[in-house]
Amino acid sequence: MTAVNLLEHFSIRQSGESFLVKMIEKKQFRAAEKWATFMGKPMLSMLVQEYVDRNKLKNAYLIVKKNNLQQEFPDVHHKYKESALKKLAEKACWDVAEAKANGDRQLVDYLVYLAMEAGYLEKVDELCNRYSLEGFPKAQEHEAIFLQHCFLNLNELGVEDIIWVDELNGLGKATCHIEGSKVVGLDCEWKPNYVKGSKPNKVSIMQIASDKKVFILDLIKLYNDVPDVLDNCLTHILRSPRILKLGYNFHCDVKQLAQSYGDLECFKCYNMLLDIQSMFEDPRGGLSGLAEKILGAGLNKTRRNSNWEQRPLSQNQLEYAALDAAVLIQIFYRVCDHSHAADALDGHNKIEWKSYIVSHMDNPRKSRKESRLRKEPEPEVKDNEA
């Protein structure tokens, strides 16, 4: 920046395009922008074109906006917005991308093309219906066939019911059912936050799956309405030595839960937790990749980064959330029940899963009651056909 400051100080304007290009090549963008501003509109226009040619669309867009160059570069705004939408689409952040489009017809059309290209046919139909878009092929019939052949569904996992829990009575019934189960699958969802440096959003829902049912707890509402009851119910479940809790990378969920609801005791301790991820040396592909490896089909991740704070959740969101918890049980049963799954377990035999069970207590000085609970025998898990 020193050279630019000296040139400005002595009003030296001999340096031109070559000087600007050198700064850009050395990634001295602030200096380049300061120099172009000092030199005037022609140099600013040259800078914008250099940015566009180098696909640095955000830099170009900001220069155009700051210096009122929209007339000279009418397409830069949309190119930048389309670039931002593409990055979000690559992360499957469709709801965030739609919000960024802000109803702009050209951007919404582009988002539909991105969804078609990525194979997210459900999103194609959803956008076409919401914005009354015509000229796009209807995807409903193709989608049903596509999903049926490529992804697991709740029927295949034996799930008979998804139960939304957001009030006292429902929480009590859910707790009773879960306490009667020997194995449950756990998962959580929260609204993604893409603002750099900002705090993550609160965990919105917690899914707890038994063999036949998946309970989806509206943590935000339950915490606001009945925090003490919620704390008590989840404490019973998470600390029970009789219930084997299955998770996938669950230490991340526990950390997020503790940060979201720090005054609740239930997320500070847990007992009998088996993190499925820890049993496998190669975690590539995440839970979906593991499901495909063990069960023969993966999970549809279209809804992964959707808005989990909206109420009511869509049926697709409910099914996605339920699948993530329910699939853990079937993966566990398949690994434990079938010897042909030994390859997927990287050489571990089917009874060694017990060595992966972990417990965590925030306070090392446990109460007598907790000590008694920990001495109780491990639950017997019957072999089940997945």
Question: By C-alpha distance, which of 246, 236, 235, 167 is closest to 211?
Answer: 246
pLDDT at 231 over 90: yes
Give pLDDT tens digits for 239-277.
Answer: 999 999 999 999 889 999 999 999 999 999 999 999 999
Whether the predicted pLDDT of 356 surpasses 70: yes
Q: Work out the widest C-alpha separation in the chain, in whole angstroms.
A: 84
Tell me which range, 28-37, 160-169, 345-354, 357-366, is most confidently predicted by mean pLDDT. 160-169
Please give the model's pTM, rounded to 2 decimal places. Answer: 0.64
Q: Which residue did the predictor score with more confidence, 166 or 337? A: 166
Q: What is the pLDDT of residues 98-145, one digit of tens each?
A: 999 999 999 999 999 888 877 777 788 889 999 998 877 665 545 554
